[in-house]
Amino acid sequence: MRGQGYDGANNMRGAFNGLQALFMKDCPYVYYVHYFAHHLQLALVGATEKQDSICEFFSMLSNIVNIVAGSSKRLLELQAAHGIEVENSVVSGERETGRGLNQIGNLQRSGTTRWSAHFNYVCSLMDKFGSIIVVLENINNCTTFSNSMRGEARGSLKALKLFDFLFVLYLMHKRMGIIDLFCRALQSKSIDILNAMDSYVIIIELLQSLRDEGFDILLDYVMSVCAKYKIDVPDMNACYMDGIRSVRQRDDISVEHHYHYDVFNSVIDFHLEELHYRFNDTTVQLLRLSSSLEPKNNFRLFDIQHICTLATSFYPANFGQQEMLHLKLQLDHYKIDVVKHAKFQDLSTISELCLRLVDAGKAEQYKEEYLRDSMLINIEREYAEDIDPDEVIDEFYAQKNHRVQLK
C-alpha cells in the first residue's frame, strides 16, 4: 500500500486518530492525499467565508430558492413562467434552438460536497432569472399568502433586482465555470494523474487571466442584463457608500473601484490562495512522479529518472544507496523488456500490468524480495508478533556451523 485518499472528515484524515493515522502506524510511507474534488468544495467554502459580499449572496440565493421552490404549486408556476420566457427569447433570437436545448426544468438546489452542484445552482438561477421575478411578484401581490410569506418574497425580490446581486451572480458563474471542468475530470474514472495535474495548472492560469483581463467584460455584460430587466445601475464614478456609515468608510473610493478591487479581484485572489494552499507542491510532486509508473498509452509517461526521484524523495527507508543502484539497473532492463514489448502495449492500469507480468512469466524478474517478505510478515502480523527475532537468531546460531559462500 503506497497511498490513501478520502474526504476531509476528522475520522478519516485525522493526524492522530483518523484512518490515515492508523494506516501510517504500520506503513509510514502510505501518503495521504485529500480527495481532490472535495478540496475544490473546500476552496469554494473558504473563499466564501472570507468575502462578505459572497457570503451574503449565497445566503440570499438560498432564501430565494426556498421561497420559489417551497411548494409544488410555486414550482409549476415557475415552469409556466419559464416556458413563456424561453418561447419569447427564441422568437427574439436570444436563445438558440436544437435538440436538448431550452428544456423546462426545476430550480436547482445546492449540494453540500460537490462543486458541480453549486455551479448548477448558479446556472439555474441565471437561466430562470426572469421567471423567478415573476413568481416572487405574484407571491407579493397575492393576498392569499400570509404577510410573512409576502414579506419574504418582497425582500427577496428587492435583493434579486439589485446591481450588487447580479454582479456577484455572474462573477460566481464565471469563476465556478472555469473550475467545473476540472472538477468533472477529477471525478472521471479514466483520467490519469498527469492530466489531472495539467488541468490544475490550466485552472490557475485561467483564473489569473480572468483577474487581469475579465473585469470590464463582466461589467459590460452585467449592465446589459440590468437594462433587460430594468434594474438600476449605479454611477461607476460616484463615491462608494456601503449603506452602513462607519469610521472606516473611505470617501475616495469610487463605485467602480469597489466592484473591481474589493469584490472582483478580492474574490479571485481568495480562491487562488485556497487552491494553492490545498493543492500544495508536495502533493503535486508526489502525484506527478507516481504517474511515471502508469502503463497507459504504451508507457508514454515512463521515466526512469522520475521513478528514481520518487524512491529517494518519498521512500528513503525502502531504498538505500545500494538499493538505488539495483533499481536503476533494473529499470534500464525493464524499459527494453517490458515497456517496449508488444505484449504490454494495451494496458491502462498498474493492476493490469501486474497481471500481465505474471501471465508472461516476468513477475519474478522484477521482484523486490525485501518488500515481498515484509508484506508477508505484515499480513501475518498476528503470528509474527509472538516471534522474538533474537530467539530465532540464537537458535540458528546454536545449530552446526554453516559454510557461507561468497558470490
Rounded CA-CA distance 295/352 in Å is 9
Same domain, residue pair 273 and 321:
no
Mean local confidence (pLDDT), 344-373: 76
User: Residue 29: inside a domain, yes or no?
Assistant: no
Decide: helix, strand or coil at residue 186. Answer: helix
Q: Do both 246 and 215 map to the same domain?
A: yes
Which residues are bridge partners to 5 per DSSP? Answer: none
In a domain, 293, yes or no: yes
Asked which of 246, 278, 310 is the last residue of a domain, the reply is 278
pLDDT digits (tens, 9 = 90+) for 173-183: 998 888 777 77
> Which of 278, 311, 340 lies at the terminal end of a domain, its last residue?
278
Q: Is 103's pLDDT higher than 60?
A: no
Identify the domain boundary among 278, 306, 331. Answer: 278
Burial of 335: CB neighbours in 10 Å, binned 0-12, 13-18, 19+: middle
Check whether residue 108 and residue 253 sit in a common domain.
Answer: yes
Residue that is written with C-alpha cell 502480523 in the block: 381
Is residue 128 within 8 Å of residue 107, measured between CB atoms?
yes
Specify if 21 maps to a domain.
Answer: no
pLDDT of residue 189: 60
Residues 264 and 344 occupy one common structural domain: no
Q: Is residue 51 part of a domain?
A: yes
pLDDT attached to residue 346: 87
> Half-sphere exposure (CA, 13 Å, Cβ side) for 150?
9
pLDDT band at 314 (very low <50, low <70, confident <90, very high): confident
75: pLDDT confidence band, cut at 50, 70 and 90? confident
Q: Output the pLDDT for position 244.
A: 55
- The domain total for the chain is 2
Look at residue 250 and tell me whether its pLDDT is greater than 60. no
Q: Name which residue leads in pLDDT, 295 or 91.
A: 295
- Whether residue 403 is contained in a domain is answered as no
pLDDT of residue 390 exceeding 50, the answer is: yes
Q: Which of 86-95, 103-112, 239-248, 297-306 has the lowest mean pLDDT?
A: 103-112
- Is the pTM here over 0.85, yes or no? no
Residue 99 confidence (pLDDT) above 70: no
Mean pLDDT for 292-317 is: 88
pLDDT at 51 over 70: yes
Q: Check pLDDT > 80 for residue 44.
A: no
Same domain, 311 and 233: no
Helix (H, G, I), strand (E, B) or coil at 4: strand
For 198-231, how does the pLDDT look when each residue is reduced to its tens digit (9 = 90+)? 777 888 899 999 999 999 999 999 999 999 999 9
Does residue 406 belong to any structural domain of this protein?
A: no
Q: Annotate 194-222 with b (16+ C-beta within 10 A) or e (fewer).
A: bebbebbeebbebbeebbeebbeebbeeb
What is the C-alpha separation between 199 and 217, in angstroms, rounded?
Answer: 24
User: Are residues 267 and 165 part of one domain?
Assistant: yes
In a domain, 272, yes or no: yes
The pLDDT of residue 272 is 85
Give 50 or 295, the one with higher predicted confidence.
295
Residues 6+ apart with CB under 8 A from 47: 54, 267, 270, 271, 274
pLDDT band at 1; cut points 50, 70, 90:
low
Mean pLDDT of 330-342: 90
Q: Are residues 238 and 335 in the same domain?
A: no
Same-domain check for residues 268 and 304: no
Same domain, 127 and 175: yes
- 210 and 123 in a common domain: yes
**Single-letter amino acid code for the residue at 30:** V
Domain co-membership, 294 together with 387: yes
**Does residue 55 sit within a domain?**
yes
Q: What is the pLDDT of residue 224?
A: 94
Is the domain of 132 the same as that of 264?
yes
The whole domain housing 259 covers: 39-278
- Amino acid 404: pLDDT: 47
* Mean pLDDT of all residues in 329-356: 87
Of 262, 270, 267, 345, the residue nearest 302 (C-alpha): 345
Residue 296 confidence (pLDDT) above 60: yes
Please give the C-alpha separations between residue 214 and each of 179, 218, 231, 260, 268, in angstroms, as whole numbers: 16, 6, 22, 10, 11
